[in-house]
Every structure is written in C-alpha cells, then in structure tokens.
Amino acid sequence: MNDKLRCAILLTVAVGVLVPSVVVGQGRHRSGRTRADSPLEGSSYAESPYQLWPIEVASRDGMVVSGSEEASRAGALILEAGGNAVDAAVATALALGVSEPTTSGLGGETLILIYLRDGRTVAIDGSCYVPFEPRVDELQKEKSRGRAGSFHGYKSIAVPGSLAALAHAVEKYGTKTLAQVLAPAIDIADFGYRMNLSELGNVENYGGKLRLQNHVAEIFLKDFSEPWPVDHLYCASDLANSLRQISDLGAAEFYRGRIADVIEADMVRNGGFIRKADLVHVRAVERRPQRGSYRGFDVICFPYPGGGGMLLEMLNILESFPSEFLQRDSLDRLHLLIEAARIANTDNATSHVPPVLLDQHLTDKRWAAERAKLIRFDRALLAGEISGEAPDPYLAIGTTQVSVVDRWGNIAALTQTLGSSFGSGVATPGLGFMWNSNLNAFDVSNPQSPYYLMPSRAAKTSMTPTVVLKDGRPLLVLGSAGSDRVVPAMVSVISGIADRGLGACEAVAAPRAMWGSNYGPMRGWVELAGEITPEREAALEKQGFEGMFQLKFPARWTDLMLFGGTNSIFIDPETDMLVGVGDPRRLGVAMAPRASGAGVTR
C-alpha cells in the first residue's frame, strides 16, 4: 500500500486525532499572511511588506516556536501534558524530522542549549562527525565536480548525532520518556503533514537532488517533476515505522540494533563511509555554554563547534560604538552591521589557532575593540585590511530553530541541520529519513587546516541556540536558520531589543542588513524595506559593498528565507508573560498550551 492511500485511510478512521488544544496566532495560513493579518495600527512595521509581518502569541503557561505548525503543536501538547521545556523541545525537534524534512531528521545533527529555572546551564552537542574510514581521494573528486565545491549523495554523509543528543536531553533533563516525546512525531508521520511555501520553495530549488532516488522523488515531487500543491498531504510510513522501533527499543536500536545493520548494508552498497562501528561510538557530549555580555545583558550561547564565538565577537564589535549610534536609522548603522558581520565571519574562518582556543581569543572584548577600530564609514574595508588570509567557508548549513520556555521558567533552545537543504539528497530505503551532507563542511586539501577531514572530527557550524539575560533573569530565547547568515540575523534581533528598545515582534520584523554567502562569493545582503531604502543600498554599493544581494518585495519565498529564521521567545521582565514570535521569513509558528491566561496578540 503506498503512502498516499495509507494516509487517506488513516485520516478517514482518525479524524480529529491531531486537532490541537493549543493557542496559535489567528489568521495564520500555510500559504503566508494576508491583509487580514495586518499588524496593529501604529506599530513600527505596519507599513512594511506583509511578508515581514510576524504574529505574536502570548501566554504565561509555556511557549513553543518552530518552523512547522505540526512540530510546534507537538511541543505545545507535551507542555499541556505536564512536560517541561526539554521534553517539549525534544518532541518538537523529532516532529520537525517528519514535517520539516528539508533541515531536520534522524540523519542530521542537533545542538541543544538548556537553561534550568535554578540557573544551571548545559550545552548538549549532537554534531555529525567524520566516519573512521573516509576516502579523502574520493571526496576530493566529488568536491571538484560539485557546485562551489559542494556535493551530495552517499559520499557526503557524516555520522549523525541528532538522535543521541535528543535522547540524552530528555533522559537527563526531561520528565517524560523518549517514547512519550516520540509519539507526536509518529502521529504526524502516520496521519500526514503539509508544507508551507518556504518548504515548497526548497523542494523546487532542490528537485534535482531529490531525483537521485525514486523513493525520495515519489514523496516530494508530483509525477517526479515538480512540487506538490500547497494543500498536498505528505505521509511517511517508513519513517513512522523507524520511529516506532526507536520508541519501543530506545535510541540504541538506531546506533547498535537492527536499524544500524540496515544503515551499514545500505552504505556498503552505495559507497557511503558510515559503518556500524561508527554508529556504536556515537555519544552526546555535554559542553559548558559560552558566556558573554552586550550592553549589560548576559548572553549564553553554544560553544565550539557551534557559532557562539562568532556571535559574541560581532556583538562585542557593535558594543565598541555607542548604543545611540545603533538607535537611529542611518546609512552608517547599516554600514556597521555589515562590516561587523564581515569581520566576525572572517576571523572565525581564517585563523589556524585550534578552534576551542579560537573562541576564547575572538570573544575577548579588547580584541573586538581593536577590530572595531578598522571600520571606517567612508568606504568598505578591503579584504586585505581585515585579514591576510582568505576565509575557509567550512560551515554546516541548512538549519532550523526551536525555542521553548515552560511555565516553571525552564528553557530549551536547539538548532538542527542536515548540512544543506534535504542534506545529501538520499535516504536509506525502508527507513524514511534524509541523510545529512556534512562532509561538505570539511577541507579535503590542506592537512594543516583546522577544518581538515579527520576521523571523529565534528564540523564547525554557525548554529548557536542562545539565551539572553537581563538583571540575571531570562529575557530572550532565540537562534536562527540561515547558514553563515545565522549570526547576523540573531544580532539584528538582539541589537533591536538592546539598542533600539524594540519589542519582540518589531525586532524580528525589522529589515536586515548582513554579510554572508550562499554557494557563492561573500557579499552584503539587504532587505529593501523600511530604513533600507534603494538610495541607501546604492550608497552602500558606492562605498564598496559591490554586488549585494537585494531582496525586493514581494519576494520569492526561496529568497526571503535566505535572511534567516530567528524563532524567538521574549520573557516580559515586568509581567513574566511569554511572547513567542515565529520568523515570517520562514513562516515560523508560535504555539502555547491551552490553559488559563493564554491568548493571542499582534
């Protein structure tokens, strides 16, 4: 029985099973916002393009924000059932592996930041790592044939750590069992999910990759050629069966049991490098979160191999300038945001200092003050003025963010990736999940590079789930999607709140100016809205930021999503109200459990 027929039968006998008893923003549609979703009159973004209008969800009883309606609902239902933030975040992440297969799944990696109500913090590292016996010569050939040095297929797959991290988090810091937090994901796989326009844009962009295997193309492409319409219901019976095995037998079934045997056989048949010996050795690693500050706010973020070092360096560079400088709309403010991101990106990709020591060095405020002195506002810096080395763009990309706060004040923020959209483009027949493409994130030419391909090495990534404190109390929970534009997107939100006094919704909606790449040269990126006028963009080009990516509105969803996905929760310091904001650039969704005090505002 094929998935489409099975899905129809299940829906016939199970109507109403997934109807949520949660609160979600009114008027929200998979196809995007309409004029009926217009922000309140007088808000700072009321005249901005409708594609930048977020919807706030407010509650005192907990909050979940993710890139998928089904996944946010899964987390909210766990909160409603008495689970804590860790339980809900893990349930959301596992559900994303079903309903947002572009960026999530058992075949990828997950970085988790936990802040407990008693002040304890931990970073759980579920990175992908290099198998024990990769063939460097084969990878060199693959990279030479790929677009911008990237490639896909079985040879791009690294050993996945996502499930290990999620299982460890819920077992040590949650209150539910792994089986309980897996249940919503299994239901979604059985009863089906729909993709929003952002996800459908990815399907269209990566159709060639999805055609690598017929059983993958059959799921995501109508007649193996084009995306399904927006109302199409996707079912994933193979994935549901895999999740049931893990629910019954634990994560060990994936890394040491029958699923591991199936994985090894598939890799051997198709030239992949993963073996059961690699899977057996996978363990989640607990790390000490990285800490810094900005304008008196404490910033807790993910250490190496996460992007916390880059986040803190960029914030420290901005802090070298008066807050008033960043309050007002101006050409100079946009110039500073781009140059700060450019310097931080370069510093994090050019040094041959061991990566762990690199984070300590680059997050020193004295270092940032010296780097800030380079910035001049009459022209863009020349590459040689920033560094004598060319940056090595070895970062895992293709990401999604989950932010959760529970009614007791526990926090879990996590970011997931498959390495690029739809990862390697291949899935082991019968298992139902996409494999990552994270071996792309390594240098295979220079053995002296800190990013050189070595067994058991994890890829450096820009992902950095983060918690911001004010006066010792949590104020903001966020992270972002967006490849090497993750950090600039997050800084836009943090600076909007700290420097400009914006509310959570306004900070997420504010048009962004950043620096980064997308399988091409590094350059400036701007959303032409609000203060970022065509005249100011032209002035930036004249100053030397040539060839900038200009996002004009209305925008294609595949272009809009390049500016990040900062799914955020703001904790009002005066009322303790939780305000969830899904980033409209990726149609993020905030949901709260149904309980007294929950409600919706815009």
- Of 439, 394, 446, 438, whose CA–CA distance to 417 is shortest? 438
Q: Is 399 a catalytic residue?
A: yes
Give the pair of three-digit tokens for residue 319: 């802090």
CA distance 69 to 357: 40
Element (H, E) at 340: helix 331-350
Cis peptide before 554 (omega within 30 of 0): yes
User: What is the distance in angstroms between the CA of the first residue and the CA of the last residue of the chain?
Assistant: 45
- Of 467, 471, 465, whose CA–CA distance to 486 is shortest? 465
- Of 494, 496, 410, 495, whose CA–CA distance to 63 is shortest? 410
CA distance 270 to 363: 43
CA distance 486 to 8: 39
521 in Cβ contact with 484 (< 8 Å): no
- From the candidates 363, 399, 400, 464, give the one annotated as an active-site residue: 399
Q: What are the residues whose beta carbons fall under 8 Å from the beta carbon of 166, sequence distance 6 or more?
A: 90, 93, 94, 110, 112, 126
Type of residue at 378: D
DSSP strands (E only) in 229-321: 285-287, 290-294, 297-301
Give the residue ranges of DSSP H helices in 192-257.
197-205, 207-210, 214-220, 237-249, 252-255
Encode 408-447 in three state secondary structure. CCCEEEEEEEEECCCCCCCECCCCCCEECCHHHHCECCCC
CA distance 293 to 319: 9
Helix axes 85-99, 69-80, angle to 10 degrees: 150
The residues carrying an active-site annotation are 399
